[in-house]
């Protein structure tokens, strides 16, 4: 039917009508909160991250404390990032039983009922800052798989519910699944960063966590923002290798990719609203150009595109009801 019989504004007449006709809603359980835990930091001395206003690096105890506070107001999952004191060529502290993330996982599992997800990568732990093992100026794919498997296994042994490989090496999901299964960790879930782009929106994160590569960039392993067919191939491979949950990253610059991935594979799909997306909105609000409604709208757009789970630094503000 056409106008004047059909009038779309009828459906927007007042807030009650609009509410019952709302197609997409954000729920507390949609949110995953990324937490940075810095080894050696004194309790009570959280460090403000200047490139990400309102976000902090926490000591182990303080991270658990903050997450517990959020658990009381509806948080269900955390994504842990560790910052080690010692870095080396092979990122040894990434798979050490006593690494900061392994310690953190154990403590979170004892002191909270949160779903504990760990970032599986090498870049915070390697002296060169790349996400893999370097030989002769090359990031060596197949050799790196052994290290990523060891990292994932050490997280599973510590009690992680979900491991999330973010490195973008080929074959890592299969290698990790095989290692987990061989060691009896059949139930450890893999959430793979399937379509991860080489994005400038990661800049505040790298600054926050000291993982900027000393030389070169990540373009030989992360995807070009110009490509979408490639995202389908990447995601398909991860699913065939055993990924349980797939992820698109970044989120707002990739809403089309989230939609394609969801429509094509019907998998549980996560989207990562990255540091640059967070800081951009924060800066806009601080300057008075935007309001906190813009945050809500950004999250809604990610959900509408097809994400079941949203990894975002805005998680506390959402749970606190301030956006
Ligand atoms: C490292 C990693 C990065 C992010 C998550 N894991 C940075 C990168 O790939 O350079 C980015 C997160 C963010 O910007 O919020 N593998
Ligand atoms: Zn990395």
pLDDT tens-digit series, residues 96-126:
999 999 999 999 999 999 999 999 999 999 9
Residue 271, Cβ density class (10 Å: 0-12 exposed, 13-18 middle, ≥19 buried): buried
pLDDT for residue 209: 87
- The whole-angstrom separation of Cα 222 and Cα 292 is 31
Q: What is the pLDDT of residues 243-281, one digit of tens each?
A: 999 999 999 999 999 999 999 999 999 999 999 999 999
Asked if residue 15 belongs to a domain, the reply is no
Asked if residue 20 belongs to a domain, the reply is no
* Positions of the chain with pLDDT under 70: none
> What is the extent of the structural domain holding 244?
25-320
Asked if residue 75 belongs to a domain, the reply is yes
282 is annotated as an active-site residue:
no
Asked if residue 32 belongs to a domain, the reply is yes
- The whole-angstrom separation of Cα 282 and Cα 323 is 12
Tokens 């910052």 locate to 83
pLDDT for residue 205: 95
Q: What is the DSSP letter of 269?
A: E
Asked if residue 2 belongs to a domain, the reply is no
- The whole-angstrom separation of Cα 186 and Cα 67 is 27
Closest CA to 164 of 257, 243, 60: 243
Centre of ligand 2 to C-alpha 130, Å, is 6
Give the closest ligand to the alpha carbon of residue 271. Answer: 1
pLDDT for residue 122: 96
Ligand 1 pocket: which residues have CB below 6 Å? 119, 121, 123, 131, 166-167, 202, 205-206, 211, 218, 274-275
Mutate to test the pocket of ligand 1, among 148, 151, 202 (most ligand atoms within 8 A of CB): 202
Asked if residue 211 belongs to a domain, the reply is yes
Overall domain count for the chain: 1
Q: State the Rg of the chain over Cα.
A: 20
Q: Whose CA is nearest to atom 5 of ligand 1?
A: 166
Q: Whose CA is nearest to atom 2 of ligand 1?
A: 166
Q: Which residues have beta carbons under 5 A from ligand 2 (an ion)?
A: 121, 123, 131
Asked if residue 1 belongs to a domain, the reply is no
Centre of ligand 2 to C-alpha 131, Å, is 4
Closest CA to 304 of 273, 253, 262, 276: 262
CATH at 59: 3.20.20.70
Give the closest ligand to the alpha carbon of residue 222. Answer: 1
Closest ligand 1 atom to 201 CA: 14
Asked if residue 30 belongs to a domain, the reply is yes
Centre of ligand 2 to C-alpha 208, Å, is 14
* Number of CB atoms found within 10 A of residue 78's CB: 27
pLDDT for residue 215: 87
259 is annotated as an active-site residue:
no
């Amino acid at each position: 039917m056409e106008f004047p019989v059909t009038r779309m504004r009828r459906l927007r007449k007042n807030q009650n009508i609009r509410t019952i006709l709302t197609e997409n809603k954000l729920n507390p359980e949609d949110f995953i909160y990324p937490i940075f835990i810095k080894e050696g930091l004194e309790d009570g001395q959280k460090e403000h991250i200047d490139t990400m206003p309102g976000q902090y690096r926490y000591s182990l105890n303080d991270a658990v404390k903050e997450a517990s506070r959020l658990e009381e107001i509806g948080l269900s999952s955390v994504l842990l990032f560790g910052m080690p004191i010692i870095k080396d060529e092979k990122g040894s502290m990434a798979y050490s039983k006593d690494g900061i993330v392994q310690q953190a996982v154990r403590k979170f599992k004892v002191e909270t009922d949160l779903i504990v997800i760990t970032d599986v990568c090498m870049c915070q732990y390697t002296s060169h800052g790349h996400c893999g093992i370097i030989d002769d100026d090359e990031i060596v794919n197949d050799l790196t798989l052994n290290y990523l498997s060891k990292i994932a296994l050490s997280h599973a042994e510590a009690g992680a519910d979900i491991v999330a490989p973010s490195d973008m090496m080929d074959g890592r999901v299969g290698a990790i699944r095989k290692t987990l299964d061989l060691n009896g960790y059949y139930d450890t879930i893999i959430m793979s960063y399937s379509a991860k782009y080489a994005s400038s929106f990661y800049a505040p994160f790298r600054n926050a966590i000291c993982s900027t590569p000393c030389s070169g960039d990540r373009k030989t392993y992360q995807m070009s923002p110009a490509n979408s067919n490639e995202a389908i191939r990447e995601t398909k491979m991860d699913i065939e290798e055993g990924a349980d949950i797939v992820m698109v990253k970044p989120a707002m610059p990739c809403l089309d990719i989230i939609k394609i991935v969801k429509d094509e594979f019907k998998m549980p799909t996560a989207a990562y609203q990255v540091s640059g997306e967070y800081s951009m909105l924060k800066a806009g609000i601080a300057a008075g150009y935007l309001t906190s409604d813009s945050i809500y709208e950004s999250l809604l757009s990610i959900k509408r595109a097809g994400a079941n789970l949203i990894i975002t630094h805005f998680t506390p503000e959402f749970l606190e009801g301030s956006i």
